[in-house]
Structure 1
Amino acid sequence: MPAQQRADARRNYARILAVAEREVAAHGAHASLEQIARTAGVGSATVRRHFPTRRALVEAVSATRVEALRVRAGELADLDDSRDALLTWLGEVVVYCATARGLAAALTPDDADAGTDAESPYDNSCATVIEAAGTPLLRRAARDGAVPEDVTMAELLTLLVGIALATEHRADPEATADRLFRLVVAGISPGH
């Protein structure tokens, strides 16, 4: 949100974001924008002014989580075992996505709601941050021979998002996502 916005616009933004965080936690990425506007005490147009697309709203809600995962990747970069560092971080990403409703949707490829303008600030900033955070871990693991050199972070994120979306409505999404992730790891790195 631009710093030069009027005080009332900044308050509206903060109120909308706080309500959106609760609604997304309860209903996932498809939380009702109209309900968010009503609960925040603003009109739908005000929500759209601050968040022109549903993706923009979900990404704003997910920003703190994404930042925590970015920081965590940096912390794990110092581990001696590059494979362990990568797999620990990927496991944390998938579990976080499965339990923090809306985050997996924020990491999915752009859809019609996000538009197709490559210059849009709403293209997929969450995925960009996560991909940039994990790429050094992946490169190091590939350099050490722990994963195939042709595996990309975008491919790994696609797997993680798929697992998270498939498990977020389960009775125990964390355990189910972790189990599926461990199955994928066993399949992509047999013998380790």
Structure 2
Amino acid sequence: MPERQRADARRNYARILAVAEAEVAAHGPGASLEQIARTVGVGSATVRRHFPTRRALLEAVSRKRIEALCVRAHHLTGAGDSRQALLDWLNDVVAYCVSARGLAAALAYDGAESEPIHENSCSAALEEAAGPLLRRAARDGAVAADVTITDLITLIVGIALGTEHHPDPAARAAGLFRLAVAGVSPRR
């Protein structure tokens, strides 16, 4: 939201965002924009002016969580064991995606929005923040050199979306992530 907006537009944005957070928490990424507008008491055009796409809405709702994950990545960058630091951060991403409805959808690379104006800012922020973690782990031989943060985020999004209707999505997602890290081959 531009800081140069009128005071009433900033208030509308804050009210819409607060209601959107509640709607996404209750109904997931498919939360109704029309319901958000009705709850706030504005027209749907006002909601769409602030959030022209569903992704823009989900990214705004997820912004604080994304910022926390970025801070966590920066904190872990200097940790002793580069593999463990990367896995700790990825576990945090899995936990956030499972606990925060809409976050996995905000991180998904759907390919439908290829113009730079529609860049997936949530994923871009995580890629930038976690890049040093991954590069360090790759340099230490703890991760294959061709693995990217995009690959890892895509894996996590798939796990989160695939477990969202499980009776215990957090446990199921954590288990699938451990399986992905360990691989399917038996330990020797």
1:22 is paired with a residue whose SS is helix
Shift of 1:191: 6.0
Shift of 1:34: 0.5
Q: Which runs of 5+ in 2 are unaligned?
A: none
Inter-CA distance 142–180: structure 2 relative to 1 (3 Å threshold): same
1:109 is paired with a residue whose SS is coil
Q: Which runs of 5+ in 1 are unaligned?
A: none
Candidates 131, 134, 146, aligned match of 1:150 = 146
Matched, 1:128 2:133: no
The 1-side partners of 2:182 and 2:51 are apart by 40
Candidates 133, 136, 140, aligned match of 1:140 = 136
TM-score by length of 2: 0.95
Percent identity among equivalent residues? 69
What corresponds to 2:61 in structure 1? 61
The 1-side partners of 2:23 and 2:5 are apart by 25
The amino acid that maps onto 2:174 is D
Shift of 1:45: 0.3
Shift of 1:95: 1.4
Inter-CA distance 184–86: structure 2 relative to 1 (3 Å threshold): same
Candidates 160, 165, 170, aligned match of 2:166 = 170
1:132 is paired with a residue whose SS is helix
Shift of 1:169: 2.4
User: How many equivalent pairs are there?
Assistant: 188
The 2-side partners of 1:47 and 1:108 are apart by 22
The 2-side partners of 1:45 and 1:109 are apart by 26
1:79 is paired with a residue whose SS is coil
What corresponds to 2:17 in structure 1? 17
Two-structure CA RMSD over aligned residues (Å): 1.7
What corresponds to 2:88 in structure 1? 88
